[in-house]
Structure 1
Amino acid sequence: MSTPGRSGGAVAINQGIAHLLPGNGSQGLIEAAVHDFQDGRVVEAITRAPGIKRNDVVSGGYVLDTLNAAFWSLLTTDSAEDAIVHAVSLGSDADTTGAFTGALAGPLYGASTLPARWLDVLHNAAEIGELAVRLVAWDT
């Protein structure tokens, strides 16, 4: 599969989510996220994430940096809250990095692990929760 750039980022994140949703845990996540990628840039950005130091993580508008930062944030922490806080604390393109990280942290840790103080201020939280349940249950 050759999907460089933004579409490659979307494919990698969604392959990661597909791996995590059945409750597989983080073991095998990297392999699942880069499965069938021919674009070595995407593979490298994701596979090197767990082994790099905080000062080497770049959060910017470039999708490969965002992928690297999201996988680093997820795989170097032990909770959804810590992963997302680490991601947005990187600065720069914090919203995108946080969104990528949250997309992976949700199925890894479960929605029930998100802090109530975050959910209490979420506009339309009940509706969003219902949509999420329907999406996960959707069988194509």
Structure 2
Amino acid sequence: SAALRAAVALAADGGGHSPERVESLGGAWVAEEALAIGVYCALAEPSVERALLLSVNHSGDSDSTGSVCGNLLGALYGADVLPAAWLRPLEGRDTIERLATELA
């Protein structure tokens, strides 16, 4: 809970976004840091595209933080907010979307 509180506070302070600010939450090599970074990026950056880029552009475990941030933003907004150029090359997209619809 301390890591999440730090992420929410950092997102709310309005100090701008940078890899250094992301890394102030840790390197994401442990679960609570990865969750904090994903939450920070999703809260701090109103643009979905820029939030995702922020979540992976740091020197820590960026694939994990990108996954956390992407899952949070996907739950909030759905795939419609993602750039079409990012979605086109996805392998198995139709199957994944069909299964997700059936599960929901």
- Cα distance in 2, alignment partners of residues 130 and 91 from structure 1: 35
Q: What amino acid is the match of 2:30?
A: Y
Candidates 56, 64, 71, aligned match of 2:39: 71
Q: TM-score, normalised by structure 2?
A: 0.80
Question: 1:113: which partner in 2?
Answer: 81
Secondary structure at 2:46 match in 1: coil
Asked whether the 8 Å contact 2:4–2:39 carries over to 1, the reply is yes
Runs of 4+ in 1 over 4 A off after TM superposition: none
> Which is further off, 59-68 or 95-104?
59-68
- The offset of 1:109, in angstroms, is 1.9
Percent sequence identity over aligned pairs: 33
- The offset of 1:73, in angstroms, is 0.5
Candidates 64, 70, 90, aligned match of 1:96: 64
Candidates 85, 96, 100, aligned match of 1:128: 96
Q: CA RMSD in A?
A: 1.5
Structure number with greater CO (CA < 8 Å, separation at least 6) is 2
Q: What stretches of structure 1 of length at least 5 have no aligned partner? A: 1-42
Question: 1:51: which partner in 2?
Answer: 9
Candidates 46, 50, 62, aligned match of 1:82: 50
- Cα distance in 1, alignment partners of residues 52 and 69 from structure 2: 6
**How many residues get paired?**
94
Secondary structure at 2:91 match in 1: coil
**In 2 relative to 1, CA 131–79 (structure 1 residues): closer, same or farther, beyond 3 Å?**
farther
Q: What amino acid is the match of 2:8?
A: P
Q: What stretches of structure 2 of length at least 5 have no aligned partner? A: 16-20
Q: TM-score, normalised by structure 1?
A: 0.61
Secondary structure at 1:134 match in 2: helix
